[in-house]
Structure 1
Amino acid sequence: MCRTLLPCLAFGLSLASAAEPISLGSRRELFVDKLLIDQMEGATLRLHHPESAGSAVKFDQPWEGRFSAYITVIHNDEAKKYQMYYRGNAGFKDGTTGEVTCYAESADGKTWVKPKLGLHEINGSKDNNVMLANLAPYTHNFAPFIDKRPGVPKEQRYKALAGLGGKYGGLSAFVSADGLHWQKMQEKAVITKGAFDSQNVSFWSEAEQCYVAYFRVFTGGGVDEKTWKPKGVRWVSRATSKDFLTWTDAVQMTCDQPLVDHIYISQTNPYFNAPHHYISTAARYMPGKAVLDEETKKELAADTKAYPALIKDCSEAVLMTSRAGTTAYNRSFMEGFVRPGSDLHNWTSRSNYPACGVVRTGPAEMSLFVERSYGQTAAWLERLTLRVDGFASLHADYAEAAMVTKPFTFTGKALHLNLSTGAAGSVAVEILDAAGKPLPGFTLADCQAVSYDSIDRVIAWKAGSDVSALAGKPVRLRWVLRDADVFSFRFE
């Protein structure tokens, strides 16, 4: 391995001093933000785009329809199954009784079935997958989660927020024992200040030890009552609760980038492999940006006649992140995460909106789901895949590059990496003290550089992989890499 960057890193970079080292413990860190990064030379943070795994669900039943939306995907560890919830809407006005909440499930997160629940009569039959009906406005945006709070009563194992603002009052709290039969926790809405005509998500935060909700607002305070145009842009606020009934006042999320995008749904959720990282596979809505030519517009107009405005806008998925306990989004990656692609049917308003929930669907694979052809006869849900932890990476091209972290403390005996290199590539790690001085036995010259592709590779030096002697002491990591991506690391 080339060592050309060692002198530069040892003597050329000015490392920032940290008043207090960051406490990592044994948690997994993803390269989705720059919280731990002090200096980079030639290295970058790279966004990775998910790959298509084909159709997951077609919204082809009469009670589902072209406006099926606001999807939630859950991995039920105890029942060893995946569960999906979504709005069925064949063209009814928002918040009316024509909207229903549908249910699907899967044994592997890949092949989905719509069970005949027998709960509600639709078109003269109960042979359907409708979970909630005649429950407007809550069926507009019902978004459940499994409550993993220790000691939660069995009858409240599932929870959800749902509802609309204005005359509808706001978001109400629902509970269920089985995820299929639901009841309100109380009649009165629990969150009342916001613009809730969207998917509003909530969850139990293991990291914060409270319930957290993310919901839609307008940065300018609402919409103009005459023109119905938004004041400012669509954005996100957050509130917390200890009991799911009494919530703190909403706090508008800040961002490290100017608030110029309309973020229609945030889909903010703890990442299953690192729950202190909140991942937002959000929808970026581009009002008034019509990119289709006139011939294509005419072709689609016949299929979208119930809602001709669909051909006047476009949208895509973007990646935002936050950390437990903060009210700030990080947007290291402003580019599209899931683009509309070459299918003209996805260059329409509200297509490409992601489902809430990133779930593991294989030893090294995770899946997310995105709506396609919204508002059209062939509306469907696509499954997309990434490697586990693979949202973004610390990246180096063929030329050798480096990164030095801020000081931190850790617990554990070994340094584990999720990494991928080319055949000519490699990753090496040097451990420094807080001042940036290489520690004996853990220098770059001692490190056994890795050339491989693995979601869990232990780094070793000449004396082995045991780093327990450094646990609890302020250290830095110096990464030297070439033709490589490092997706995450942890000490264990």
Structure 2
Amino acid sequence: MTSRANSSVSRRAVLIGGVGAATGAALAGAAPPAFAATARSAAAPPGADPTRGKHKYFSFDTGLWNGHLMSNCQVSMGKFEKDTSNNPLFGEGLYASPSLPWEPRFDNGYPNVFWDPGARKYRCYYTLFIVDPSSSSTPVDQRPGKPYSTEGRVTGCGYAESADGVHWTKPALGIVDFNGSTANNLLLKNVQGTSVLHDPGDPDPSRRYKLLTLASTLSVAFSADGIHFTPLQPWPANSPAPGADCHNRVFKDSVSGDYVLITRLWDNNIRVVAMARSRDFISWSKPVEVHRGNGLEAQTYSMPSWEYGEGLYLGLDSVYTDGDDTLPDYDTVSLALQWSTNITEWNDVAPDDSTFIPHGPGMGQYPRGAFDSSVIFASVPVETGDRLWFYYMGGKGLHTSWRQTALGRGWIQKDKFACYGSRVAHRPAMVTTQGLDFYGDDLRLLADIDHGGSVSVALTDQNGTVVQPGFGADRSLLTPGPDGWHQVHWRGADVRSLTPGAFYALRITLRNTRLWAIGGDFYVRPLKYAKP
């Protein structure tokens, strides 16, 4: 995925802690975070004390860095590890044994996967076509050379569950009639882009599972068990038309307390990301555009988003390539990563290439190719120990043609979304922070140091000059921890002895090293960091 238009965004320090509370997806008994989340961030409301608790800043956060004092450095995406031992986890049921005739085509799938600690199971809610005459009447081996038709299709919402995230069942729910029988795993029909939010903090037990979907208009429903929902209740106002014909992802924002919907609008025949807010999950603000790709060739098809820590938001950007059938990835959907500090303005995590989940081999070779060779739509992560697991619907076959889709998964190590490293290999990279205020002696780097590599850290003034005796790069020491974080200190010097109010920045030199984040007892000075 190539770079697209970037926006100026407000900045917020992120408390060092886990994603689990923000996503509602952490497994019970997961390992504790490397740092305790004990205070609000540096860009918190007036009156908040940024010197309480610990802060964490990611390498992709441009507000952390002094762009004029950088050398041979670039941000690169981390490696997404696919679960090749188990993928795909489950697929369309029409041609399975036994056959599930209400599953002829998942299409995009728009998966919503989370761990439910009360029920002790993973839940997956997904969009599908429950009627697709073209797929139902044409076995896979007869599809090459024949045109695919969208005539007569009917959408629905399916449900699957798992005890371990690998082995999934599609229970007979007895809810939706399909060809005279309710022995199927359907929750709803004639809906698309369904999102289910597990909200265990709601004082009303009957509203602890909240569903939002597009029927004739955007609509909501509630449930006590995640299966049996109230009848759909249309939005009283502001449902977009056209729009919302995508993954309608909802999360609860810890900063504002609002329910936030990330959906889609259309503008001049271009798909754009939109956001709406609600206090009660019933009445919603008018969706407004918050992000777009780049012309016809890089349209954001959907972008399910979540809060990662406090004040940082990440978006799983499914990017559709249209506009030129000579492009090698024409009519496919790739998966990139976006970030924001305010939900209203988004940036590529790695400007040169933000691809997060790569395609499998065999693009354009349907019916051959990997299950995820051409199309990817993902769910927000489930945190398990030191890993973030991403479940995604992968498709082989072009977006508008014959396609088979299945659920897969993969992982990254926690916090390792993107890193700073050397632009030119075998030469050191140098990065310099903005001014930092220290209030303790805890300074850490999340870094991977290759064999023969090294990291040195100097404390400098605004011009990049070391002015405080004892804080040169040659006196810096790193002590590795078991969690990948390295403690930084200087021989014979202590940051607690620094002159209060003076300007201090970190100049970090990386040799065969990838720097993911920095954190500890400091915060970035608000000048140029926080947007007025």
TM range (shorter): 0.7 to 0.9
- Sequence identity (%): 25
The root-mean-square deviation of aligned C-alpha atoms, in Å, is 3.9
Match of 2:417 in 1: 391
Q: Counterpart in 1 of 2:337?
A: 319
Q: Distance in 2 between matches of 1:430 and 1:478?
A: 5
Instruction: Identify the match of residue 347 of structure 2 among 330, 350, 353.
Output: 330
The 8 Å contact of residues 378 and 392 in structure 2, kept in 1 or not, is answered as yes
Q: Which residue identity lines up with residue 490 of structure 2 in the other structure?
A: W
Seen in structure 2, the aligned counterparts of structure 1 residues 204 and 454 have a Cα distance that, compared at 3 Å, is same
Q: Is the 8 A contact 1:411 1:468 kept in 2?
A: no
Letter in structure 2 aligned against 1:112: W
Counterpart in 1 of 2:128? Answer: 88
- 1:401 is matched with 429
- What is the deviation of 1:453? 8.7
Residues 378-435 of structure 1: CA deviation (Å, up to 9, x unaligned):
4212212222222211113432111111224466652333321211112233344667
> Does 436-445 or 347-356 show the bigger shift?
347-356
Give the Cα separation in 1 of the matches to 2:74 and 2:396: 34
CA change 1:334–1:240 in 2 (3 A) is farther
Which residue of the partner structure matches residue 283 of structure 1? 318
Residue 142 (structure 1) aligns with: 194
DSSP 3-state at the match of 1:445: helix
SS in 1 for 2:225: coil
| Alpha carbons of structure 1 residues 47 and 133: separation in structure 2 relative to 1, 3 Å | same
2:261 corresponds to 1:213: yes
Q: Which amino acid aligns with 2:59?
A: F
Once residues 131 and 501 of structure 2 are traced to their aligned partners in structure 1, the CA distance between those partners, rounded to angstroms, is 59
Q: Residues of 2 paired with 1:160 and 1:473: CA distance?
A: 52
Structure 1 residues 290-343: Cα deviation after superposition (integer angstroms, max 9, x where no partner)? 4699xxxxxxxxxxxxxxxxx9722211222212x3411102435343343422
Shift of 1:99: 2.6
CA contact (8 A) 1:74 1:82 kept: yes
Q: Which amino acid aligns with 2:361?
A: S
Task: List alignment gaps of at least 5 residues for structure 2.
Answer: 1-11, 14-40, 44-49, 94-99, 134-149, 522-532
Find the counterpart in structure 1 of residue 88 from structure 2: 55
- How many residues are paired up? 435
Q: Which position in structure 1 is the counterpart of 2:146?
A: none
Residues 108-162 of structure 1, C-alpha deviations (whole Å, 9 max, x = no match): 43443333434344455544322x134x2x3x221112236x5543222222321
1:46 aligns to 2:76 (yes or no): yes
The change in CA–CA distance for 1:369 and 1:156 in structure 2 (over 3 A counts) is same
Alignment of 1:77-116 (within 5 A): 77-92=117-132, 98-116=154-172
* Of 54-63 and 376-385, the range deviating more from structure 2: 376-385
User: CA offset at residue 466 of structure 1?
Assistant: 7.8
Letter in 2 for 1:490: G
- Residue 420 to residue 349, structure 1, CA distance change in 2 (3 Å): closer
Q: CA deviation at 1:464?
A: 8.7
Residue of structure 2 aligned with 1:36, choices 54, 57, 64: 64
Provide the C-alpha distance between the structure 2 equivalents of 1:76 and 1:471, rounded to a whole number of angstroms: 47
Structure 1's 420 and 36: CA in aligned 2 closer, same or farther, altered over 3 A? Answer: same
Q: Is 1:247–2:323 an aligned residue pair? A: no
Residue 255 of structure 1 contacts residue 328 of structure 1 at CA under 8 Å; is this kept in 2?
A: no
Q: Any conservation in 2 of the 1:419–1:454 contact (CA below 8 Å)?
A: no
TM-score by length of 2: 0.70
Residue of structure 2 equivalent to 1:9: none
**Which of 209, 220, 226 pairs up with 1:179?**
226
Superposition deviation, residue 189 in structure 1: 4.3
Superposition pairs of residues 427-442 of structure 1, within 5 angstroms:
427-432=455-460, 438=466, 439-440=468-469, 442=471
Q: Are the structure 2 counterparts of residues 186 and 128 from structure 1 closer, same or farther at C-alpha, using a change threshold of 3 Å?
A: closer
Aligned to 2:106: 67
Deviates most, 188-197 or 90-99? 90-99
SS in 2 for 1:249: coil
